[in-house]
Amino acid sequence: MPRYRFPEPPARLITPRALVMDRRSVMAGLGAAGLMAGLPGSGRADTLAAEPWPGSATDEITSHEVATGYNNFFEFGTAKDDPARHAHTLRTDPWRITVSGHANAPGEIGIEDILSGFDLEERIYRLRCVEAWSKVIPWIGFPLRDLLARFDPTSDAKYVEFETLYDPAQMPNQTGDDIDWPYREGLRMDEAMHPLTLLAVGMYGEVMPNQNGAPIRLVVPWKYGFKSIKSIVGIRLVSERPVSSWEARAPREYGFYANVNPQVRHPRWHQATERRLHDGGRIATQMFNGYEEQVAHLYDGMDLTENF
């Protein structure tokens, strides 16, 4: 039994739940349930996005218990079990996201309209944290670009900035100074528009648990986990590169690009391997977290040691 209370999950989020333990049946089940119907057109990356991350055939999905019990969500404390213990104070309904900046149709959208208005699909992505551990999670969501398209970005929109809710009454550790609140992150426009970049509203066939970033979070599978900002209330289309909260705090440790790159050390530890949380085993970290074929072209001509 979950220790926290969820809002009533939309029926379409429940469908794949029983299938989660077996990846093959998950994917088959999604096809059968018609959840894959929303996949955009064809093309290499689009096709691949419907499958578990590449090279993961032998990788197991992290247990629900670990995925929801070992978290980074500094708004609720800095210990890994703080979010599971404290995130019940977050109220996720009502919830609105404001989209502003360089758009022809700036505005707001409520979580109900998001859940009913986009084609939700299940995608199994690894989340590789900069602390050198990783999880493999069956997310439920839809491409960020589908949401951005509703607001019609102009050609002046070069970057996207995201902001988490700021409300110390609900997020008690925002009274502390671990981070320059609210938590902020950013992507270059082409990264934001890449079909692998997901807005996730659920996982394991359920509505998103509070400690994992309810009701809506980003998942950028080829970047270190800190890019995957939780509990988003603001999206700004901007012309200048935004500075993320972690970059502001420690620019030598957390670069803007944050691409998973085993060759670039974190100043305090190497990044060549990672500990899988589901069994504690260590594996070699893959370039771009295994998505090199899909995303490497975004960084053609860039020095990824300098632009880390």
The correct pick among 13, 26, 49, 75 for binding ligand MTE (CB under 6 A) is 75
Asked if 277 interacts with ligand MTE (CB under 6 A), we say no
Asked if 120 interacts with ligand MTE (CB under 6 A), we say no
CB of 34 to ligand MTE, least distance (A): 27
Asked if 215 interacts with ligand MTE (CB under 6 A), we say no
Binding mask 152-171 for ligand MTE (x = CB under 6 A): ------------x-------
| Rounded CA separation 194/203 (Å) | 21
Asked if 183 interacts with ligand MTE (CB under 6 A), we say yes
**Both ends of the chain: CA-CA distance in Å?**
41
| Rounded CA separation 228/179 (Å) | 16
Asked if 226 interacts with ligand MTE (CB under 6 A), we say yes
- Contacts (Cβ under 8 Å, ≥6 apart) of 176: none
Asked if 285 interacts with ligand MTE (CB under 6 A), we say no
Nearer to ligand MTE, 119 or 178 (CB): 178
Nearest alpha-carbon partner for 259 in 213, 212, 305, 216: 305
The correct pick among 102, 223, 230, 276 for binding ligand MTE (CB under 6 A) is 230
The correct pick among 15, 23, 53, 73 for binding ligand MTE (CB under 6 A) is 73
Place of tokens 């070992």: 70
| Rounded CA separation 220/224 (Å) | 8
Nearer to ligand MTE, 104 or 175 (CB): 175
Using CB under 6 A, count the residues that bind ligand MTE: 17
Q: Where are the alpha helices (DSSP H) in the chain?
A: 11-14, 23-33, 44-49, 64-69, 82-86, 111-117, 144-151, 189-192, 245-249, 292-295
Tokens of 160: 């996207």
The correct pick among 62, 71, 289, 294 for binding ligand MTE (CB under 6 A) is 71
Residues in contact with ligand MTE by the rule CB under 6 A: 71-75, 127, 129, 135, 164, 183, 212, 225-226, 228-231
